Amino acid sequence: MSREVKPQIYFYIRKGWYEQLIKFCDGVILKRGKDPATLYWKAFGHGMSNNISECLRLLEGFQARNDMQYPVTLALLYFHQRSSSLDADSIETLSAQIHAAKDVTVRLKIIFRIL
């Protein structure tokens, strides 16, 4: 995610303007392609504006990426818990995955410090 995109995304989040966040992310995706961080914030916007099914669909699309696994798993767990139809199996699975995702994140940080 570029330097000029981050402040705008954080501004929309601080203000609670989630529909504008979604539109902004759509514009960034059209111009620059599917950046995982931009997709994450778009999914977050959907979740916070109570479009949980679209949020979960977007997040599950890139959960397997090592660099995004921890934040995506946390977001999935949070939005599954906010869903009107709780899926106990998914919540249990995601809770178990958090520790593994955190370990992957720690290992990646160590590797990037070495490089």
User: Each residue of 40-91: pLDDT tens digit?
Assistant: 999 999 999 999 999 999 998 877 777 788 888 889 988 988 877 767 777 7
pLDDT of residue 115: 42
Structurally, the chain folds into a number of domains equal to 1
pLDDT of residue 81: 85
Residue 106, pLDDT > 70, answer: no
Alpha-helical regions (H) of 1-115: 5-15, 18-32, 36-48, 52-60, 69-82, 88-114
What's the rounded Cα separation, in Å, for the pair 17 and 49? 9
User: Each residue of 12-29: pLDDT tens digit?
Assistant: 999 999 999 999 999 999
Q: Which domain holds residue 49?
A: 5-114
Instruction: Name the DSSP letter for residue 51.
Output: -
pLDDT of residue 11: 96
Provide the CATH number for the domain around residue 33: 1.25.40
